[in-house]
Amino acid sequence: MPNLTNITLQLAHQSNTTTLYQNFEIQLDSNLLLQLMVSYNLKASDVTGDYVFNSLVFEQFVKTEPYNGGNSVLKNTTHAISSWPQKLSWSQLNQQINNFLLAWLNDYKLGANLDAAFLLARCLELKSSKNSQFQSLLTHLIARVTNQLELYKFSYVQNFDLDTGLPNQHLLLNLLNLSLSNIQQNDLSKPSIPAEQTHLGLILVNLNINYGEASQQNSATTNLMLAAMHTIQQHLNDDATLFHVGAIDLAILINPLKSPTQLNLIATKLLHAFETALPLENITLILNPHFGAISTFNIQTNAISFYEYAKLALNQATIKNEQIKIYDQNISSSFMSSQLLDKAIIEALQQNELSLFLQPIVTINDQSLLDEVSRCTSAEVLLRWQSQEWLSISPARLLDVIYKKGFGKVFIRWLINNACQRCAELASTYQHNVSLTINLSSVDLLDSDLPELLSQSIVLWNIPAESLTIEITENDILVDEVKVSRVLDQIIQLGCKLALDDFGTGYSSMARLRNMPINIVKIDQSFVRNISSSTQDRAIVKSIIKLAHSLGKEVIAEGVEDLACLNILKEMNCEKIQGYYYGKPMSFEEFITWLDAFKMP
């Protein structure tokens, strides 16, 4: 049975892919067969004939439980054993046994039962006193070759990706370990001959595939990977091996690597290759992959570290939206700093050091009021971290770390509880009837426990449910519309309101607005900010307001920064506005002071 690790580089020089069982071979030579026969007290002269296929035994056998699948299940094995020659020379017997075992394995791969094969072997009889030993030998050989195939299959699954046939990360690390050890040994044996030192390089490739968009276009992700893999293989030389190391990640091992610049050349060559659309049915897709690379010219280390450094380079390329990043020590320093920040953010959450800021939402048109005085009746809750060590960390970075580290549910419980507490304080302590809006992500909306969390906090702080508005976006709904709708329905039953944020920037705003139980529409600030100077933006905002009103929705315009913009929105009968004109996000204490001092402009 061939060693999978040893054949990998050979496969790389061919198609660089293999399929399950492709390289499995039955290796039962005459010497090994003789050794096994000795265990059963058999000699070569004992097994050359006469043989007979016992049809009566076979007819009884096909009626038994192990043969439930019918003759077709053991079609190959049955044919091999029923057509067994009456007499055979030793060399012919050896070949006949190998053919028989190959026939059995073909049936086994199709789901044939091992017990059925044992019973079928008893249908072949040796007309001599050695029949019992011969049938035991045949059963032994069936079991032996089946075990060999299972071991091969286990080894294959460990070392190759079943979908693509490419060697996987496990095999890559083994080859890296072997290659780096050889390099170190050569360096020790020839320390004074640097020209003869060998080097290797590793390039990690993130295909940057948006699987959500791919699924909407009815394209299987496996087909995308296979097409991308084929494109890469067409542009690799014999010194490069391609590996599948993640859902959308590939690796290229170059051994030997002639110079550090070879990494850039290979990556650039592949970038040019991906400028052409992938050969996929029904869709046109051009990938823009990211590359992270490292070589032994840069650093001498062990296999695990070498691979991890390449991942750091790829991570840097992805975060900074660069196409190619070659590893250097600065990347490790940056990563360490990032790791420290991630740890500090989680500690801040656990130690209740995060805070909630409030940005006023001001009512500028309310037909239920006799006067025309602007009032602040609501505010949006925004996350902040006031750290003396880590300055100006954006809310997006805070949330990204919290959710990636698995603390999303802890955070959302903290957010809901604190928002309800602030709501209660505004009403009971400061006599301000102000509702609060909290933003939830798609991850939160997929959590079936979310309505119960809201209900518990509302009861705990004794606030009316309508004083909480849940703000969502169209993209959040699209993740899993059925699950999200189920959770939203329960939230509405509690009495909370729903606001659709960033309206006008999603996929199907009009249909979404009509079909979902939305109370409030928030017009994205990208449309609002320039309505005093842009006739196009003004027309868009006016149309959104008119549409929302026709469906009975309240409108909030975000990004209002000047009086001219405010007056235009008043004329359009926009109910509420949010933006720096009235107030930026502020701490709870600052918000109370602002509320007390707030007057109509």
- Examine residue 163 and state whether it is found in any structural domain, yes or no: no
Query: Given 327, 346, 363, which residue is the final one in a domain?
Result: 327
Question: Whole-angstrom Cα distance, residue 559 to residue 523?
Answer: 9
User: Can you give the pLDDT at residue 226?
Assistant: 85
User: Can you give the pLDDT at residue 514?
Assistant: 73
Contacts of residue 22, defined as CB under 8 A and 6 or more positions apart, other chains included, come to none
pLDDT band for position 389 (50/70/90)?
Answer: confident
Average pLDDT over residues 492-514: 77
pLDDT band for position 67 (50/70/90)?
Answer: low
Tell me: do 566 and 436 sit in the same domain. Answer: yes
Run of H or E residues at 154: helix 131-159
Question: Which residue reads 């494109």 in tokens?
Answer: 231
How many structural domains does the chain have?
Answer: 3
Amino acid letter, 507: Y
- Examine residue 107 and state whether it is found in any structural domain, yes or no: yes
Question: Whole-angstrom Cα distance, residue 105 to residue 107?
Answer: 5
Rounded to two decimals, the pTM is: 0.58
Q: How many CA atoms lie within 13 A of 488 on its CB side?
A: 27
pLDDT band for position 215 (50/70/90)?
Answer: very low
Q: How many CA atoms lie within 13 A of 374 on its CB side?
A: 21
* Cβ atoms 570, 555 nearer than 8 A: no
Tell me: do 253 and 122 sit in the same domain. Answer: no
pLDDT band for position 197 (50/70/90)?
Answer: confident
pLDDT band for position 365 (50/70/90)?
Answer: confident
- Ranges 168-177, 206-215, 306-315, 510-519: which has the least confidence: 206-215
Please give the structure tokens belonging to residue 189.
């044996």
Tell me: do 359 and 322 sit in the same domain. Answer: no
- Examine residue 317 and state whether it is found in any structural domain, yes or no: yes
Please give the structure tokens belonging to residue 115.
């017990």
pLDDT band for position 13 (50/70/90)?
Answer: very low
- Examine residue 25 and state whether it is found in any structural domain, yes or no: yes
CATH code, domain with 308: 3.30.70.270
Tell me: do 294 and 370 sit in the same domain. Answer: no
Query: Given 262, 294, 327, which residue is the final one in a domain?
Result: 327
**pLDDT, the chain, mean:** 86
Tell me: do 459 and 595 sit in the same domain. Answer: yes
Question: Whole-angstrom Cα distance, residue 419 to residue 94?
Answer: 80
Residue 15 clears pLDDT 50, i.e. is over it: no
Tell me: do 322 and 341 sit in the same domain. Answer: no
- Examine residue 40 and state whether it is found in any structural domain, yes or no: yes
pLDDT tens across 74-112, in order? 889 999 999 999 999 998 999 999 999 999 999 998 888
174 lies in which domain range? 169-187+195-208+221-327
CATH code, domain with 481: 3.20.20.450
Residue 162 clears pLDDT 50, i.e. is over it: yes
3 state SS for 370-410: CCCCCEEEEEEEEEEECCCCCCCCCHHHHHHHHHHCCCHHH
* Cβ atoms 437, 378 nearer than 8 A: yes
Residue 34 clears pLDDT 80, i.e. is over it: yes
* Cβ atoms 23, 2 nearer than 8 A: yes
- Examine residue 216 and state whether it is found in any structural domain, yes or no: no
- Closest of 384, 288, 287 to residue 345, by C-alpha: 384
Residue 61 clears pLDDT 70, i.e. is over it: yes
- Examine residue 214 and state whether it is found in any structural domain, yes or no: no
Residue 381 main-chain phi, psi, to 5 deg: -85, 125
* Cβ atoms 575, 369 nearer than 8 A: no
Question: Whole-angstrom Cα distance, residue 99 to residue 26?
Answer: 9
- Examine residue 213 and state whether it is found in any structural domain, yes or no: no
Tell me: do 120 and 173 sit in the same domain. Answer: no
Tell me: do 372 and 397 sit in the same domain. Answer: yes
User: Can you give the pLDDT at residue 205?
Assistant: 96
Tell me: do 264 and 401 sit in the same domain. Answer: no
Average pLDDT over residues 128-146: 94
**Highest averaged pLDDT of the listed ranges 155-164, 503-512, 555-564:** 555-564
Query: Given 327, 359, 382, which residue is the final one in a domain?
Result: 327
Tell me: do 504 and 592 sit in the same domain. Answer: yes
Tell me: do 461 and 572 sit in the same domain. Answer: yes
Tell me: do 359 and 236 sit in the same domain. Answer: no
pLDDT tens across 271-317, in order? 999 988 777 766 667 788 999 999 999 888 899 999 999 999 999 99
